[in-house]
Structures are given as structure tokens and as C-alpha cells.
Amino acid sequence: MATPSQVAEFLHTTSASLAQDRYHGTGIPYVKHGRRVLYRWADVRAYLESNTVNPQDAA
């Protein structure tokens, strides 16, 4: 499990950006543990895989 700040650092983004994604119901699936937000690393990797663009496939 990872905190939003850990995931933000990994993705080279901000915790605020991840919070906006959660607010809009988009982005990486997350787990609420009490008031804490946690991300599963498997979900982070799956999100990256599903959002990877291969320019060769676009042609």
C-alpha cells in the first residue's frame, strides 16, 4: 500500500492532482482506511498499463 504522496512522487505529479482525480471519480482506484487514502501498487501499475499510448498502434 502507498500513500498519495508516495504515488505522486512515483508518477511525477502532485498529491493535489491525485486528490482532484478522486474528487472527479477518475484516476487510480484507491482504498479508504478510516480517513486515510491508500493506493495498491498493483492498481497503480494497472493504471499505467491501461493508459500507455503506443504511437505505432495509432497509425
Secondary structure of the chain in HEC code, one letter for each residue: CECHHHHHHHHCCCHHHHHHHHHHCCCCCCEEECCEEEECHHHHHHHHHHCCCCHHHHC
Q: Where are the domains of the chain?
A: 4-54
Residues 5-51 have pLDDT tens digits of 999 999 999 999 999 999 999 999 999 999 999 999 999 999 999 99
In this model, does residue 57 exceed pLDDT 80? no
- Helix, strand or coil, per DSSP, at residue 37: strand
pLDDT of amino acid 55? 86
Please give the torsion angle defined by the CA atoms of residues 14, 32, 1 and 48, in that order, rounded to the nearest 10 degrees.
-50
